[in-house]
Every structure is written in C-alpha cells, then in structure tokens.
Amino acid sequence: MNTPEPRTESPFRERPPISDDAAVDLLRAGELDVLGRMPWSSNMTFLVDVHAPGAPVVQGVYKPVRGERPLWDFPAGLHKREIAAFELSRALGWGLIPPTVRRDGPLGEGSVQLYVPTDYDEHYFTLREEPAHHRWFQRLCAFDFIINSTDRKGGHILLGDDGRLYAVDNGLSFHCEFKLRTVIWEWAGDPLPAELADDLARLLDEGLPTEVAGLLTLLERDALLTRWGALVGEARFPTDPSGRRHPWPLV
C-alpha cells in the first residue's frame, strides 16, 4: 500500500444522513480508500473513505488484524470483539456503538467502523452531568458489565455531530476472566430501570444472537451468559468493592 500524500486540508468529512442498517451494508460492500493513519492509536488504525455506486460516501475507521499489537493478557482477535460489541448492542436495540463490520481491506481482514464526526474536547466527564444523557449512560454501564469491558475510558464516549452519543474502542472486551474497568460508577448498587432490565431479560431468554456467538470462543460465550444472567438476576448496577476497577488514564 502506498503512503498517502500529505494533506493540507482536513481528511475528515461531514457524515451524510444514513441509517445504521444502510451504514452496515455500505461498510460491508463499499470500496475502501485509505486516507491516512489515525493518530494516538496503539494498534494500526486507518481513516478510510467508503464508497459504492449510488450510495453516499461515508468514512470509516479500519483496523486490520495484521496491525494488532500482541497483548500478554488478552488473546488475539480484537477486531472480532469490536464487531461482537456492536452486534450485541444492536440486538438489544440500544444503539450504543457505531456500525461495525468484519471484512477484507487494503491490509487484509479487519474491522471497519463508521467514523463519528465529533468534538474531541467532549467526553464522559464533560457529558455526565447532562440529565438527558443519563439513560444512555445507564445502558452503557450495564452493557459494559455484561461484555466485560476492560478499558472504558472517558474519552471512549463521543458526542457525534448528529447529537447522538457513541461508545468506541470496544476491542478489549468479552474476556472469559472478569476484568471490568470503567469510569462509569455513578449508579453502583442502584436498581436497574425497568425498561433496561426488560431489554436484557428479553434477549437473554431469546438466546445469544448468532452474529455475536460466531465471533466469540466457547469460554467467552459461557462467561458472557454468566455475567448477563447475574445482572438480570440481581437487577442492580454493578459495584466495585475493590476500588480498583478504573482504567488509566481516565480519559
């Protein structure tokens, strides 16, 4: 792959109006043009234009498997967990995560996630006091417990230019050992809101979606269902008696 020419203008585009389902189809089938490497990423991560005949051009964040840095405490395949997190949020109807797909690209197989134009000065700690965001954050708090999110930093919460909140960087999740680390502890021990508890119980009764199950190992699936069942049974937000379940840095 050739190195992209230096740009004097910003490579980031405004996102055209597009539904999540249409975005998934376009991310899966569209042609990827690499614009450059995303800064501040520990793994190889690229901004891409995604285009197909008759469809609007959108941008995506492409994470090829070959650019994944090995971790001593996490198995390879972070791209699968990025996609599994999106598919589980989608099945719950919660819309927490930008559309994310598994596909081949200029550097081989990887994940491609719809790029969210955002103000990067905004993050969890600037947004959490707004009451209108509380129910969304409560969903994410419960969601991060069941997927065993190991690195939910404040900067992984984006306020998109479309006014929606999004949670990104979900690769460090679904580990079969309990490794929860998050900045969201405001509701620790509080009862789950009824609609949130109903959503979790409904999907747990229906069974793990095949789109999620096919991306996880047997041990990861079993651990996911155990955490999920415990949360539904307890019907309360998780607590941290150790005081050590925070990521670093916090943002």
Query: How does pLDDT run across 43-81, given as a tens digit for each residue?
Result: 899 999 999 998 999 999 999 999 999 999 999 999 999
pLDDT tens, residue by residue, 123-180: 999 999 999 999 999 999 999 999 999 999 999 999 999 999 999 999 999 999 999 9
∠26-143-79 over CA atoms, to 5°?
45
Residue count of the chain: 251
192 assigned to some structural domain: yes
**Radius of gyration from C-alpha coordinates of the chain:** 18
Residue 158 resides in a domain: yes
Residue 73 belongs to a domain: yes
Distances (CA, A) of 251 to 80, 84, 123, 183: 24, 24, 8, 9
In a domain, 14, yes or no: no
Q: What is the dihedral of CA 145, 148, 154, 159, to 10 degrees?
A: -70
Range of the domain at 204: 20-234
Is 240 domain-assigned?
Answer: no
d(CA 59, CA 81): 21
Cβ neighbours of 161 (radius 10 Å): 12
Which whole number is the average pLDDT over 77-96? 97
Residue from 209, 2, 229, 251 nearest 89 by CA: 209
pLDDT recorded at residue 41: 81
Task: Tell me how far apart the alpha carbons of residues 234 and 231 are, in angstroms, rounded to a whole number.
Answer: 5
In this prediction, residue 216 has a pLDDT band, given cuts at 50, 70 and 90, of: very high
Q: What is the model's pTM?
A: 0.93
Domain membership of residue 216 (yes or no) is yes
Average per-residue pLDDT for the chain: 94
Total count of domains within the chain:
1
Does 12 reside within a domain?
Answer: no
- Spatial CA neighbour of 155 closest among 176, 115, 174, 127: 127
Structural domain includes residue 212: yes
Question: Which of 20, 182, 14, 7 is CA-nearest to residue 94?
Answer: 20
